[in-house]
Amino acid sequence: MKLVTLEDLGRQITVPAPAADGAPRVVVSGNVATPHAVVDAVSEVLPEFTLHALNAQLGLPIRSGITMETCFVGPGMRKSAGLVYIPARLSMVPHLFTSTCPPDIVIVHTSIPFDGKVSLGVEVNILPAAIEAARARGALVIAQLNAQMPYTFGDSEISLDEIDFGVAVDVPLPSPLHTEIDDVSRAIGDRVAERVLDGATLQLGIGAVPDAVLASLKSRRGLRIWSEMFSDGVLELDRAGALDPSAPLISSFLFGSPELYAWVDRNPRISMKRTETTNEPANIAANPMMTSVNTALEVDLYAQANAARVNGHIYSGFGGQTDFIVGALHSPGGQAILALRSWHPRADVSTIVPLIDEPVTSFQATAIVTEQGIAPIWGYSQQAQAKHLIEQAASPQIRDELWEEARALNLT
């Protein structure tokens, strides 16, 4: 690795071969680990390029000549004109780099060097595969070396030999805004927690409902974490003594407070793994009592979930939901739960609908949980599933209408 300044970086950049569409593809760290300083510097040098990032946050360069590309749409790309969305389960995204989406430049956000290595810190995810694909085809790998990036272990450790150029910065990592756990989220969290036993393995995302679930699990013991991501709620579980102290906490990326970042820094219990490991359904299924908790925008009477599209437009993507639903259902004692509000407060509509008219993200979870109750799904006939959803998950104000629609769908 050669250390350069931001000013000198532009003079070092050469793209060995154009992408298939003629514009170089730049793959960058997503989530809260976007290396903004280096991305901006590269943007000043390349008049046209494709920018590939997973769950990109705000702050990416937006101008003519830059095409946004992703398999999971974040707020930084959601309103991008000409967005290129590539549908893919998260476990399969790394394979794109050796097939349809070869990288010409990979920009990662890492810790400062230590003992011949840097750490990808809070964002491992698809990046090891991107680096390997870049090295195999002679493409550039650039690291934004941040003194404030925590050093994590596992697949996050990258040899300096794998990096062409390093640029030193000293900037704090972003943290999500604090999410208040309201009464509805708390009720959903309590209902989900009822189904989680001591010794279960957990996968949860971020937001009011996952936070509420974790807050309701502090009295459990021997819990394990195998998740594509975790946030501050896991730290609170550890402080409450709910986690198995002998089991590593497995994750692929982190998203949380400065306190969380300090906790994971050089913490030997935290093992950051690449997406192909965390999201491989067979690996997920190997965990005892794997309990996957995800959410959805809407669920229909066939127990099909839409978690990705709004009014015909892509909002997010498959993410890891399909991977973890399949893995959890095959785990001994496992369960896949979809947790959501029964009524969407902003849209003022029911989230339990007769029939989804968007592409389906997933289907056949173990149970659907709302603040109204728990609707068991797996193992029941389609008529029983519809009955449980109407009577135990839907808002009372929509139940008569749903029964009418169920009769029209021959679900009664």
Q: Annotated catalytic, 228?
A: yes
Q: What are phi and psi of 283, to 5 degrees?
A: -65, -40
- The whole-angstrom separation of Cα 396 and Cα 349 is 12
Reference 46, options 60, 62, 28, 66; nearest CA is 66
68 token code pair: 């946004």
Contact predicate 210/233, CB 8 Å:
yes
- The whole-angstrom separation of Cα 362 and Cα 321 is 7
Task: Measure Cα distances from 147 to 29, 151, 257, 357, 411 in Å.
Answer: 17, 10, 17, 48, 59
Rg (CA), the chain: 22
Which DSSP string corresponds to 320-346? THHHHHHHHHHSTT-EEEEE--SEETT
| 305 three-state secondary structure | strand
Q: Which residue has the tokens 């093992």?
A: 271
| 168 three-state secondary structure | strand
- The whole-angstrom separation of Cα 162 and Cα 158 is 7
Length of the chain equals 412
Q: Which entry of 228, 276, 371, 405 is annotated as an active-site residue? A: 228
Q: What are phi and psi of 6, to 5 degrees?
A: -60, -40
- Vertex 323: Cα angle to 262 and 103 (nearest 5): 70
Contact predicate 168/142, CB 8 Å:
no
Write down the number of H helices and E strands in the chain: 12, 29
State the catalytic residues: 228
